[in-house]
Amino acid sequence: MKCNNNHNSTLDSKLLTFHVLRRLDCGMVDSFENRIRSQKVQYFAQLFKVSPHHSFNLYLKGPYSPDLANELYEMKRNNVDAIHFRFVSNEMEERFRKLESFIKGKSTRRLELASTLHWLLKIANFPKKEAVEKLVELKNANGKEMILAFNDIKNI
In this predicted model, what pLDDT tens digit does every residue of 74-99 receive, in sequence order?
999 988 887 777 777 888 889 999 99
Classify residue 58: in a domain, yes or no: yes
Check residue 62 and give its pLDDT: 93
Helix 143-154 and helix 128-139, axial crossing angle in degrees, nearest 10: 130
pLDDT at residue 32, as a whole number:
96
3-7, 13-17, 69-73, 74-78: range with lowest mean pLDDT: 3-7
Residue 2 is assigned to a structural domain of this protein: no
Residue 94 lies in a domain: yes
Residue 11 has pLDDT above 90, yes or no: no
Residue 144 lies in a domain: yes
pLDDT at residue 142, as a whole number:
94
| pLDDT > 70 fraction of the chain, expressed in percent and rounded | 94
| More reliable by pLDDT, 118 or 90 | 118
Task: Give 62's strand partners.
Answer: 59
Q: Residue 126: which domain range?
A: 7-154
What's the rounded Cα separation, in Å, for the pair 137 and 131?
10
- 134 pLDDT higher than 80: yes
Instruction: Using the predicted structure, report yes or no on whether residue 120 has a pLDDT greater than 50.
Output: yes
Q: How many domains does the chain have?
A: 1
10 Å CB burial of residue 39 (0-12, 13-18, 19+) is buried
pLDDT of residue 155: 72
Residue 3 has pLDDT above 90, yes or no: no
Whether 131 is covered by a domain: the verdict is yes
Predicted confidence (pLDDT) at residue 6 exceeds the cutoff of 50: no
In a domain, residue 37? The reply is: yes
Tell me whether residue 1 is in a domain: no
